[in-house]
């Protein structure tokens, strides 16, 4: 009987050969995650930051032999039952000795294991370094340099010679060329160190050295240096970074999904602490220093940031006839192509000082914490007065504090956070995830954000893009009667107590989704997904009368039918039908897209392509479908109007150190003679772009 506990391990090792064929931890299958986590791709989602978060999770994997419920839940893959089963297994049999042993954990199937593998490790945190830090950095194998070039080859209006206006002045034009340039350098070792920088020049920007306008070659430069687990210091970082604690009411950076086809595990946020910022998005990060000190079950984090912000600055006369400057708007596009955009670059500064206290119980089932963040702008912020933004932030300072908790009890996982901003507005999130049965999982989340709740770095679960002016209740269910079938469904009801942009009265709405997946074999996946969203919005201007605004209930429905099949070890095909309709008042429109993919993996060479046919009656029915791109780059075009979209993507591993990617994409419209508006306008019905990328990996 003494040897009986090792029987599951022996069984798993016997099955190892078939399992080993599926292990590939080098890259994240971003397309698979997008399909699983997002019910419907939309332009409002920051996919680049999403991938950066996934990359951070991969580069700093969770130690399976040390992780508690919080760390395991942070992977957004495991159900409460699977978390409990793993912890019970580890407690009964001791540390995991091989990744193949995961097959012996109850309720962990191969699909679950495959999704977990990129983000876990068996190594322990405590280590003895035999070499100095500088030598470890110089000898690290996990280091790379990426160079990327992207360009649209049709000429946009912004690059044409300027016109002479009726006033005699020349019209605005882009100051730079249409090339998009990107460089990224990073060397890191999990739970030891990370150093790197990211450089970016957007199309239309000038590659110039001009300190007066805060342009230093590339228009955006990000950098960081981070150390992990140095004695009692869990994390020390300099440069650009983000923070995530609790449910994202105060510090909400990182991997945050919300409503999607994965209806259970993605409703909550995880406490991941400090993480380096490596994206090219020019907002939503801190620049300065942050440290985390841990002692026993307690962790203490302190941070300071002083970062430039793009802003429109206006002048006003005070009561003493003195000129005072104020911020009328903060710009988040990160584009500096025209004189007005360049004039707004880094015109304001934002100082942040704050901290966190986090407690983890000895059994790791209870987490509690508190956050504080004080923000100060170099000038007062005075938004353009509109009725719908009457309760938006104004002034030069904001202060927000919160307390949060999470508690794991058997197969139930409870979590929540409550926050209050300087204005007196409250924000609250309370939720629960549970495995009611080995085949049934349930999630419930209630949130309430008052109309004067102000959080600049919040990213809590919400219907809106920010946690403000919203109350809602979300219910999610997942039923898996067998390995082959899976049914996911959610229903969300929300209200907006105050006016919103394009909705000039208090409003409400509902949203539901249902997805049925069928996996007859490891090589085939078929799913059908239906989604319906109904919420209030203003009628179009042509239907308005007088000075009042008429508001009606707009309803959008989406259908997705997808079939993915691996023909053999080399070839894979994927077919997709996506359709939608939209109704507001007496208006009814519809649209669809038909997509066919073909991909091949030949070892050192990989290539793939797509052809898509689309036909949409208006912009409300535009179709968003994720496209494969070069490593750590994204393409999410909206299929709008009538036409064809196709692309080819290739990857060549030239050597162990050098890899090359090339991509060509083209959209051909059949219903227009020009594409885009304003300075982005292209005369013609074709839009073609190329992306070239080279990656060099050190010490390989």
Q: What domains, with CATH codes, occur in the chain?
A: 1-37+61-126 (1.10.150), 219-484 (2.40.160)
**Torsions phi, psi of 107, nearest 5?**
70, 5
> Crossing angle, helix 30-37 and helix 47-59, to 10 degrees?
120
Alpha carbon distance 269, 405 (integer Å) = 11
pLDDT per residue as tens digits for the range 66-93: 888 877 877 777 888 888 888 888 888 8
Decide: residue 497, CB within 10 A, 0-12 exposed, 13-18 middle, 19+ buried. middle
**Residue 311 pLDDT:** 93
Bridge partners, residue 609, by sequence? 598, 648
Q: Which residues pair with 576 in a beta bridge?
A: 562, 595
pTM across the whole model: 0.89
Among residues 366, 477, 473, 460, the alpha carbon closest in space to that of 421 is found at 460
The number of C-alpha atoms within 13 Å of 18 and in the hemisphere containing its C-beta is 7
**pLDDT at position 9:** 46
- Taking the C-alpha atoms of residue 488 and residue 248, their distance in angstroms, rounded to an integer, is 25
**Within 10 Å of residue 74's Cβ, how many Cβ atoms?**
22
Distance CA 445, CA 490 (A): 11
Q: How far apart are CA 215 and CA 198, in angstroms?
A: 15
Comparing CA positions, the residue from 464, 469, 466 lying closest to residue 448 is: 469
Q: List, for residues 401-454, the tens digit of each pLDDT value.
A: 999 999 988 889 999 999 999 999 999 999 999 999 989 999 999 999 999 999
Phi-psi region of 71 (alpha: psi -120 to 50; beta: other; left: phi over 0): alpha
DSSP 650-693: EEEE-SSSEEEEEEEEEEEESS-SEESSGGG-EESSEEEEEEEE
Q: What is the mean pLDDT of each run of 10 residues along the chain (700 residues)?
A: 44 45 51 59 58 70 83 80 87 85 86 82 62 86 93 96 81 94 92 93 93 90 94 96 94 73 84 89 93 95 96 77 83 92 94 97 92 96 87 95 94 95 97 92 96 94 91 96 93 95 91 94 92 90 65 93 93 95 92 96 94 95 90 84 96 95 97 94 96 93
Q: How far is CA 563 from the centre of its chain?
A: 25
DSSP 176-220: S-SEEEEEEEEEEETTTEEEEEEEEE-TT---EEEGGGTEEEBSE
- What digits encode the pLDDT tens for the residues 129-141? 668 888 888 888 8
By DSSP bridging, strand 485-496 and strand 507-521 are: antiparallel
Whole-number pLDDT of residue 11: 45
Is there a contact between 201 and 184 (Cβ–Cβ < 8 Å)?
A: no
How far is the C-alpha of 193 from the C-alpha of 140, rounded, in Å? 10
| Cα radius of gyration rounded to whole Å, the chain | 26
């Amino acid at each position: 009987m003494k040897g009986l506990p090792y029987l599951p391990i022996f069984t798993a090792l016997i099955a190892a050969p078939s399992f080993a064929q599926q292990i590939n931890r080098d890259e994240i299958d971003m397309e698979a995650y997008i399909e699983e986590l997002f019910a419907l791709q939309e332009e409002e989602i920051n996919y680049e930051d999403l991938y950066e978060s996934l990359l951070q999770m991969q580069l700093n994997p969770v130690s399976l032999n040390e992780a508690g419920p919080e760390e395991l839940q942070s992977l957004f893959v495991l159900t409460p039952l699977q978390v409990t089963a793993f912890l019970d297994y580890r407690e009964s049999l001791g540390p995991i000795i091989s990744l193949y042993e995961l097959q012996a954990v109850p309720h962990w199937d191969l699909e679950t294991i495959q999704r977990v593998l990129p983000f876990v490790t068996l190594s322990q945190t405590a280590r003895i370094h035999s070499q100095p830090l500088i030598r470890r950095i110089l000898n690290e194998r996990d280091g790379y340099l990426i160079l990327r070039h992207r360009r649209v080859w049709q000429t946009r209006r912004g690059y044409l010679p300027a016109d002479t206006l009726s006033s005699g002045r020349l019209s605005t034009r882009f100051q730079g060329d249409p090339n998009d340039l990107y460089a990224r350098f990073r060397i890191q070792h999990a739970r030891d160190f990370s150093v790197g920088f990211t450089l970016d020049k957007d199309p239309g920007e000038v590659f110039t050295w001009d300190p007066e306008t805060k342009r230093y070659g590339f228009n955006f430069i990000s950098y960081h240096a981070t150390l992990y687990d140095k004695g009692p210091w869990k994390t020390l970082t300099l440069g650009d970074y983000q923070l995530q604690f609790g449910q994202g009411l105060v510090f909400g950076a990182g991997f945050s999904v919300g409503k999607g086809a994965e209806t259970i595990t993605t409703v909550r946020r995880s406490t991941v602490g400090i993480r380096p910022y490596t994206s090219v998005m020019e907002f939503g990060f801190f620049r300065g220093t942050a440290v985390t000190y841990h002692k026993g079950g307690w962790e203490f984090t302190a941070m300071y940031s002083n970062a430039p912000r793009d802003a429109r600055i206006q002048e006003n006369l005070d009561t003493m006839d003195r000129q005072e400057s104020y911020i009328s708007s903060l710009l988040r596009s990160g584009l500096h192509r025209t004189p007005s955009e360049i004039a707004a670059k880094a015109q304001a500064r934002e100082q942040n000082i704050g901290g966190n206290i986090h407690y983890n119980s000895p059994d790791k089932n209870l987490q509690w914490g508190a956050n504080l963040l004080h923000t100060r702008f170099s000038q007062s912020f005075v938004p353009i007065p509109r009725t719908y933004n009457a309760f938006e932030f104004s002034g030069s300072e904001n202060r927000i504090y919160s307390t949060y908790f999470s508690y794991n009890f058997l197969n139930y996982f409870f979590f929540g956070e409550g926050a209050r901003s300087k204005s007196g507005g409250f924000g609250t999130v309370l939720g629960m995830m549970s495995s009611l049965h080995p085949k049934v999982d349930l999630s419930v989340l209630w949130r309430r954000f008052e109309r004067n709740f102000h959080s600049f770095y919040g990213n809590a679960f919400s219907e809106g893009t920010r946690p403000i002016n919203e109350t809602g209740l979300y219910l999610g269910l997942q039923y898996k009667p067998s390995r082959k079938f899976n049914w996911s469904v959610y229903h969300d009801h929300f209200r907006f107590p105050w006016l919103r942009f394009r909705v000039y009265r208090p409003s409400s709405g509902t949203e539901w989704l249902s997805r049925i997946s069928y996996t007859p074999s490891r090589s085939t996946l078929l799913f059908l997904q239906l989604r319906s969203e109904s919420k209030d919005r203003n009628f179009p201007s042509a239907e308005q009368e007088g000075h009042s605004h008429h508001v009606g209930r707009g309803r959008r429905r989406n259908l997705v039918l997808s079939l993915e099949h691996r023909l053999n070890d080399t070839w894979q095909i994927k077919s997709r039908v996506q359709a939608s309709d939209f109704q507001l008042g007496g208006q009814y429109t519809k649209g669809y897209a038909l997509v066919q993919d073909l991909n091949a993996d030949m070892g050192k060479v990989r290539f793939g392509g797509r052809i898509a046919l689309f036909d949409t009656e208006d912009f409300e029915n535009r179709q968003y479908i994720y496209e494969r791109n070069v490593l750590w780059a994204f393409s999410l075009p909206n299929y709008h109007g009538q036409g064809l979209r196709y692309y080819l993507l290739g990857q060549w591993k030239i050597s162990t150190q050098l890899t090359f990617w090339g991509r060509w994409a083209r959209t051909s419209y059949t219903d227009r003679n020009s594409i885009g508006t304003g300075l982005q306008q292209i005369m013609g019905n074709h839009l073609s772009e190329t992306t070239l990328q080279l990656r060099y990996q050190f010490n390989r």
